[in-house]
Structure 1
Amino acid sequence: MNITEMFSDSYISYPFSNSKRILGLGLLFCSGVFLIVPAVFAGGYLMRIIENTIEGNYELPPFENWKGMFIDGLKVAAVVIFFMLPGLISEFALFVLVKIGYATLNPGLMIGLFMLTSLFYTSAYILSITAIPRMVYKNQLRAAFDFKMVFKDIKCIGLKKYALSLTGLSIMAAYLILFAGFLHMIFYSVGAMISLNIYITDFAANLLIYPLIIASQGRFMGLIYLERFQVHD
């Protein structure tokens, strides 16, 4: 499958493969904006989307086995935190140095630390896009931390195709988030005109956009990983 087909499938067709389930995902995510537990469930559902994609299923997966979905969500959180940890530490160091006024004494060091932080976060993103589907495919948490095999999977997918896929994935995620912000502004204005509670307008905007982000990105992550088997089994 070429990149254009992957994007068309992930962002146009797949999220609407089951209207009831995309609505359920929206309700789950929107409640997770205020509570951690539903957000963990949303992460578990992301894993199910990836799993269904790798198995060749097209429709959004059903909401079942909630205990398993919660555990899967914790696994996703563990992988994301692990990969982001160097960036978080570097960012915290940068914050502390700025707070104590060291930035004015050694601006070169601050620029270097900022670039290092950006590199850490970029690397975490690049690796996690393959590490999480690999964990799903192997059904083992430790598979996500097998860096040798993660790099091998990326090589099998093809560095050029992988880079283009991640660039497109990032652009689409940024676009949808910006569009969500645009919807928030519109809903705030409408809500203010009819004296609607701000939390209701937030909920409505989130319900329209964020489930699409989870569904489409989960689908795309699965499709990217499937490319690994087109070259090396």
Structure 2
Amino acid sequence: MILDIYKDSLEYSAKEWETLIILGVFCLFSFLLIPIFLVVGYNYRVINIAVNGIINGKDPLPKFDDFIGMFIDGIKVVLVQIAYLIVPIIIFFIFVAIAGNLNGILAGATTLVGCLVTFIIGIIAFLMEQMGICHMIYNDGSLSKAFAISEIKEVIEEIGWFKCLVTYIGLIIITIVIASVVTLIIGMIFTVFGISGAILGIGGGGILILGAMINSLVTLFIVGPYLSIFNSRSIGLLYGMQI
């Protein structure tokens, strides 16, 4: 089932290359902040289609319309992410404060325990946050549903804590592999051209710079948006397993 989610999401994300370009343009102007919320809002729509769709179905990619609604959806998702992130941060600083009042080995041990506890709580908070976002979206965007802890816990238990964790680890691995392979391939191609150009006296340095620029553009306009949709689609389909 997990492999089916990955397969579906990989294919789904490559349906319309023009969508990736548009998302890339939003990312390009992310320093203006508003485009970032539009990207997150678009991923909100991807998740919405996924939680109401089926694996290996014929779900369409979301359209770029109602930008105000997309912006608001993006803000809601970011607020949920921040809220869940606060919990492990507070726990970590509590342990740091306690360790600050201790000395020697005891202070070090307290800090170590604090890091371990924060890591565990962080994983739980992350899973709750991701499923909370899906739960919010599934319930017509009700922000309160993102913090309906008992309901979200039931969702995760229905899917399986271990299955959720393994799925997310797989998403991280796939994301890193795809990004690294594309970057490596483009880098190797232009490195070969650069070395050849240097040998022939054509200006290898310029070719290498061009390669770096193309690598950045491919990441910005294709790889980044593709992986963004891939992860959102996968999360939505994972949530849909318990419906």
In which range does the TM-score fall when normalised by the shorter chain?
0.7 to 0.9
Judge which range, 86-95 or 183-192, deviates more.
183-192
* 8 A contact 2:99–2:106 mirrored in 1: no
Q: 1:146, 1:88 → 2: CA distance?
A: 21
* Percent identical: 24
Q: 2:98, 2:221 → 1: CA distance?
A: 39
Q: 1:93, 1:197 → 2: CA distance?
A: 47
Q: Mark the CA change 1:108 to 1:160 in structure 2 (over 3 Å): closer, same or farther.
A: closer
Instruction: Spell out the pairing of 1:134-153 with structure 2 (5 A cutoff).
Output: 134-139=135-140, 140-153=142-155
Counterpart in 2 of 1:225?
Answer: 239
In the TM superposition, residue 216 of structure 1 has moved relative to its aligned partner by 0.4
Aligned match for 2:172, one of 170, 173, 182? 170
In the TM superposition, residue 8 of structure 1 has moved relative to its aligned partner by 0.5
For these two proteins, the number of residue pairs brought into alignment is 226
Q: Mark the CA change 1:197 to 1:159 in structure 2 (over 3 Å): closer, same or farther.
A: closer
Deviations 1:66-116 (A, max 9, x none): 0000000001101100111123335567889999xx888821122112212
- Paired letter, 1:60: L
The alignment's TM-score, normalised by the length of structure 1, stands at: 0.80
Q: 1:95, 1:178 → 2: CA distance?
A: 36
Unaligned stretches of 5+ residues in structure 1: none
**Structure with larger Rg:** 2
Q: 1:117, 1:158 → 2: CA distance?
A: 22
In the TM superposition, residue 46 of structure 1 has moved relative to its aligned partner by 0.8
Structure 1 residue 10 corresponds to structure 2 residue 9 = yes
Counterpart in 2 of 1:215?
Answer: 229
In the TM superposition, residue 43 of structure 1 has moved relative to its aligned partner by 0.8
- Paired letter, 1:53: A
Structure 1 residue 36 corresponds to structure 2 residue 33 = yes
Q: 1:180, 1:95 → 2: CA distance?
A: 41
Q: 1:186, 1:55 → 2: CA distance?
A: 42
Other structure's SS at 1:16 match: coil
* 8 A contact 2:40–2:74 mirrored in 1: yes
Q: CA RMSD in A?
A: 3.4
Counterpart in 2 of 1:55?
Answer: 52
* 8 A contact 1:40–1:74 mirrored in 2: yes
- Paired letter, 1:150: I
Unaligned stretches of 5+ residues in structure 2: 192-203
Counterpart in 1 of 2:200?
Answer: none
The alignment's TM-score, normalised by the length of structure 2, stands at: 0.77
Deviations 1:40-76 (A, max 9, x none): 1111111100111223261211111000000000011
Counterpart in 2 of 1:133?
Answer: 134
Q: Mark the CA change 1:159 to 1:124 in structure 2 (over 3 Å): closer, same or farther.
A: closer
In the TM superposition, residue 166 of structure 1 has moved relative to its aligned partner by 2.5
* 8 A contact 2:88–2:122 mirrored in 1: yes
